[in-house]
A and B are shown apart, each in its own frame.
Chain A
């Protein structure tokens, strides 16, 4: 009896404190983003109207206290005090991320013009700028680049990598697991309504009940295809032989001062999507084209 009792006393101790909640909800939050078909449709410099995911620029999204449409004439998070008449105050995001990254594109010509998750392969870049923009890609000696493989090899050489998955400008994983790398493995995939949908993740986001998801899409420039949110004076420094340029990177305050970077033809969410629980299934719709 006494033996059983002593063991019985020890057992609950051994099982104690098996669960603990830090009281801090930090989760990988999964969201969906919907870009209307119109946002991916444009009359290109060659005169052709196209609908193409390559017209969907980087999408920036964050969690904010609320979203109002009376500040700038389009949906925009509330802002803090305005210290400068030219720009709004800080929007104080709780967190956020992007879908489609601006990153070092290996050729100076492409700086701030390409975003990840939009090209199946490098040939599509050659086609996009050569045919649709009628502005062929050139290398550091101003020779026209006619094959995607040239860009790819340049990336391998400059970045000292050996795989497309390390460059991460083109499709490199079979996301839909259909056995091939194609348009269905890009960030945005056309849905049954003809709009484009994507899944995005905000890693390790600290959840605040009631915060609202809001975002916008930086559309490529009409003539050059450049992205306004890209800072070409920063980023990876390519300094080899006849190359000497910065690879570009996003500005550092995109989620704090979105209005500084939102221009006509960009698409924004006209309203925020409120979260009551961190795992709410939320679709952020970029439904409003800025046109002021």
Chain B
């Protein structure tokens, strides 16, 4: 291949790209960073044509070398994130090595090499430049490095770690960049692993195998798309030339904490619901082995994590039993300097028993098991076409599944789980016996009575060609990237009721189980099985143009094409979308210490299978028969049948559905105010339009939306929803982050950010039913969105105490959130009770806000060096002061004029861990 001319190679690369385009679809996220620098002599002139060598523990293929150009500049690209040593050794100058230069995902590290005349042969070791301001980065967001993940107190999951990023609000599926929780994109080693149906995360992952997490909130280039919110880009470890072993155990027990606000009656009922407060245990066992198969040529990593959590709501006798196994394997092979191959497999089978924790009226045999998991498999080929061009191609297959059914029975009576009846084998799951559903204080009994099997597949292939440092005859250079990607998604669902029957029972005398009697019975038409599919392809071209040394202009455009089809193959949603982006970053003083950056970008939501699923024709039909409570006789004749529900889904989609989109304007100003310390102001204004919504197309309401007074399509009084993307379904969002930070040096790092945000609009989230209550409910123009936090503070710090040879590390976090707004709701008259709400036309606006929420985290790690490797003990306190601000409220709040908390912020969690590494 070395004999081929570069132009021929480039041609071959283009053909390879086209081949991949024909094959399939997208996963174009960056998983690497780059290093640029200049070699200067003692007079600060650039030194041309000298060799610069780079090595790092995460860099497979061995040491890399580059020659400086005429101005003394050099560049290393496609570097796996990690720490690197840069060495230059030329006659008449002292050999020098710059140590521990941090390269992060999607970032450009810089290093200026200053040569000093000397005849000495001993290499001078200098600490590498730690970049306080990345003057070429135009995006909003941050990179969470391995040091961060290990030293800062967070839950041991990527979902928890991401919470510490600026402007991120919410739980495991957070609100990012002013968007809803289901408008983010999740990437794992360059593969899009966002749930193809819901738009949420789909994979639980081995925490210790994470190398870095890039949290992007805005300003991302066209290579990223299909996200109106943020992007969580996870890059995993790949191993190294050293055989490394890492095993750990972490445990926490809810009883270790004090129960700050739980109050009980004499019979054990809780007076003030305090969410998960009574029973919580978590055990995590993890192991990781990595190392060389062939030094510098082939590396492997195998990682396993077992997560077991028992967690029960107050008063619920059975804990929700989460039992997850996360297995990851990855092989990276670089046979020569031109080709790198990576093969990756992740599995995460998980069973969750006793998932029904909402109230105590569920007998063990009516509990549910959710079995979930799937796999992500990836094959990736990186072809380095010389030092200035490369082709990155990958094929990814992902499966996510959820299976919900009755919890398997057990003969082990100690646990109190669903007991097996005599003769039943251990683990028997009953799919035939109809369940009995208790209403108004009666117990759910006999069996869960329903099942649901859900498979979600994503097939994707992508290819990206990068051509770097292309000289512009008019000045400067270009970094050009072109990519193409294809995705096929499939959603299979099977749902039904055990025995095709469902009984609804009631206590004829309130709270007296002895008066238990049947209220009604549903006869169902039987299980349904249907498939929804989506096809997408996209392409992008982007350029980073550096016309002068202190200015970078980044621009490009992305094209997304998507079709979502419902279960009978109708195209529900078909789009061709253009997403232009244009940004610039200016270093006004040219000293790499100041940045003024900003620009505009359009981001499109190319849709998801939930959109097509909404209009799928399949639905379970049913007949309702009145039961003993109402003197029904279950006689199968027309006269005693109370309601007939046809086997069809009345939902439709408006024929001009279009893709939701965001137009975003960013402005970023950063400055290194003293060595290793910087300040940064990031601001964004984002307009999101055409959010997926649905309205009712048949019901006509009275003046204030309380009561139905007519129907548009005959006298059918069951709401027939219609999905739309009206211009009115929108959000406007402003976020300003003010950050004061110190990067990691001299054993410590710290950051504090105050965020001010306003979110105004009509739609809190995509695919919401917020328009479905009644047309009389005016669109919500108030500050009502979950991202309307207004004031938020996030701070963290870590210090490695200098007590060599034993290291002690302390970490600290502080989070503060101003309360979310709440508007007052009132019950409507539509049956069943509590099923309809109206916000009434007046008064509008926030009635109140959630109480402010704040939490402090603390972490202490003690290292002990042993003969081989080291042992690490770990103590972590999350929410150390056990604050329990309400996080959600009972609907009754809206009618009873008081806050009635049903969920509170996570309580104090004390976690102990032990770890052994060599």
| Chain A residues within CB distance 8 Å of chain B | 2-3, 6, 10, 13-14, 16-17, 20-24, 26, 28, 58, 60, 62, 90, 92-103, 116, 159-162, 165-166, 168, 172-173, 200, 203-206, 234-237, 249-256
Nearest Cβ in chain B — how far from A127, in angstroms?
24
The contact of A255 among B710, B725, B777, B895, by CB within 8 Å, is B710
Chain B residues lying within 8 Å of A21, measured Cβ to Cβ, are 727
Could you say which residues of chain B place their CB within 8 Å of the CB of A235? Answer: 707, 829
A156 → B minimal CB distance (Å): 9
Provide the residues of chain A in CB contact with B840, threshold 8 Å: 168
SS class of chain A's interface: helix, strand, loop or mixed? loop
B63 in contact (CB, < 8 A): no
- Top 5 A-B residue pairs of the complex, sorted by shortest distance between their CB atoms: A255-B710, A204-B775, A13-B580, A98-B702, A254-B709
A3: chain B residues at CB < 8 Å are 474, 547
With A13-B580, A95-B700 as known contacts, state yes or no: A101 contacts B707, CB within 8 Å. Answer: yes
A160 touches B895 (CB 8 A): yes
CB distance from B722 to the nearest CB of A (A): 10
CB contact under 8 A between A24 and B715, given known A3-B547, A165-B843:
no
Specify which chain A residues have a CB less than 8 angstroms from the CB of B600 in the assembled complex: 14
- A103 contacts B710, CB within 8 Å? no
Task: Please state if A101 and B706 are interface contacts (CB–CB under 8 Å).
Answer: yes
Assess the B843–A10 pair: CB atoms within 8 A. no
* Bound CA span A95–B778, Å: 16
Say whether B582 faces chain A, with CB atoms less than 8 Å apart.
yes
Q: A166-B826, A252-B707 are in contact. List 8 more A-B contacts (CB 8 A).
A: A2-B474, A22-B726, A62-B700, A97-B702, A98-B709, A160-B897, A203-B778, A255-B709
B858 at the interface (CB under 8 A from A): no
Contact A236-B829, Cβ < 8 Å, known A23-B656, A254-B709, A255-B709: yes
Residues in A with CB closer than 8 Å to B708 are 252
Residues of B within 8 A of A251 (CB): 709
Q: Write out the residue numbers on chain A whose beta carbons fall within 8 Å of the beta carbon of B829.
A: 234-236, 249
Q: Does B436 contact A (CB under 8 A)?
A: no
Is B531 located at the chain interface by the 8 A CB criterion? no
Bitwise interface map of B from 709 to 732 toward A, beta carbon under 8 Å scored 1, else 0: 111111101000000111100000
Whether the Cβ atoms of B842 and A165 lie closer than 8 Å is yes
Whole-angstrom CA separation of A251 from B710 in the bound complex: 8
Across the interface, which residues of A come within 8 angstroms of B580, CB to CB? 10, 13-14, 16
CB pair A20–B710 under 8 Å, yes or no, is no
Q: In the complex, how many angstroms separate the beta carbon of A2 from the nearest chain B beta carbon?
A: 6
Kindly report which residue of chain A lies nearest to residue B892, judged by CB atoms: A160
Residues of B close to A100: CB separation below 8 A: 703
Q: Given contacts A24-B654, A235-B829, are A97 and B703 in contact (CB under 8 A)?
A: yes
Q: Is residue B540 within 8 Å, beta carbon to beta carbon, of the partner chain? A: no
Chain B residue with Cβ nearest A255: B710
B714 touches A90 (CB 8 A): yes
Say yes or no: B727 contacts A22, CB within 8 Å: yes
Residues of B within 8 A of A255 (CB): 700, 709-711
6 A-B residue contacts at CB 8 Å?
A2-B472, A20-B689, A26-B695, A62-B710, A203-B775, A253-B711
Write out the residue numbers on chain A whose beta carbons fall within 8 Å of the beta carbon of B701. 97
Residue from B700, B702, B833, B842 in contact with A237 in the complex, judged by beta carbons closer than 8 Å: B833
Let me know if B57 is at the binding interface, CB within 8 A: no
CA–CA, A221 and B180, complex, Å = 52
Which B residues touch A98, using CB under 8 A? 702-703, 709
B571: interface (CB < 8 Å): no
Contact B702 A95 (CB under 8 A): no
Which A residues touch B775, using CB under 8 A? 95, 203-205
On whether A93 and B712 interact (CB within 8 A), knowing A3-B547, A160-B895, A203-B778, the answer reads: yes
Measured CB to CB, the closest approach of chain B to A83, in angstroms, equals 11
Interface residues of B in 771-793 (CB under 8 A from A): 771, 775-778
Report B-chain residues with C-beta under 8 Å of the C-beta of A101. 702-704, 706-707
A17 to B557, CA, bound (A): 14
Residues of B within 8 A of A161 (CB): 897
B662 to chain A, nearest CB (A): 12
Cβ–Cβ < 8 Å partners of A23 in chain B: 656
With A14-B580, A237-B833 given, is the CB distance from A60 to B709 under 8 Å? yes
A205 to B725, CA, bound (A): 16
Is B690 among interface residues, defined by CB-CB distance under 8 A? Answer: yes
Q: Pick the residue among A2, A20, A102, A253 that contacts B727 (CB under 8 A).
A: A20
Which of B654-690 touch A at CB < 8 Å? 654, 656, 658, 661, 689-690
In this complex, what residue of B is CB-closest to A96? B700
Docked CA distance A255–B702 (Å): 10
Q: Which of A16, A24, A90, A97 has the most CB of B within 10 A?
A: A97
* Contact of A173 with B709 at beta-carbon distance under 8 Å, contacts A14-B580, A16-B578, A97-B700 already known: no
Bound Cα distance from A94 to B840, whole angstroms: 22
Of listed B703, B712, B895, residue having the most chain A CB within 10 A: B703
Whether the Cβ atoms of A252 and B776 lie closer than 8 Å is no
In the complex, whether B521 has a CB less than 8 A from a CB of chain A is no
- The CA of A160 and the CA of B892, in the complex, are separated in Å by 10
| Closest beta carbon of chain A to B433's beta carbon, Å | 35
Contact B711 A256 (CB under 8 A): yes
A256 touches B710 (CB 8 A): yes
Mask for B130-143, Cβ within 8 A of A = 1, else 0?
A: 00000000000000
A22, A99, A234, A250, most chain B CB atoms within 10 A: A22
Note all chain B residues with C-beta closer than 8 A to A22.
654, 656, 658, 724-727
A14 to B714, CA, bound (A): 46
Closest to B599 in A: A14
Name which residue of chain B comes closest to A235, CB basis: B829
Which residues of A sit under 8 angstroms from B777, Cβ to Cβ? 203
B898 to chain A, nearest CB (A): 8
B650 interface hit (Cβ, 8 Å): no
CB distance from B754 to the nearest CB of A (A): 31
Residues of B within 8 A of A6 (CB): 555
Distance in angstroms from B262 CB to nearest chain A CB is 26
Residues of B within 8 A of A58 (CB): 702
**Shortest distance in angstroms between A100's beta carbon and chain B's nearest beta carbon?**
7
Q: Enumerate B750-782 residues with CB–CB distance to A below 8 Å.
A: 771, 775-778
Chain A residues in 8 Å Cβ range of B631: none
Contact of A250 among B709, B717, B727, B842 (CB under 8 A): B709
Knowing A62-B700, A97-B703, A97-B776 touch, does A252 contact B709 (C-beta < 8 A)? yes
Nearest neighbor of A237 in chain B, beta-carbon distance: B833
Q: A252–B700 Cα gap in the complex (Å)? A: 9
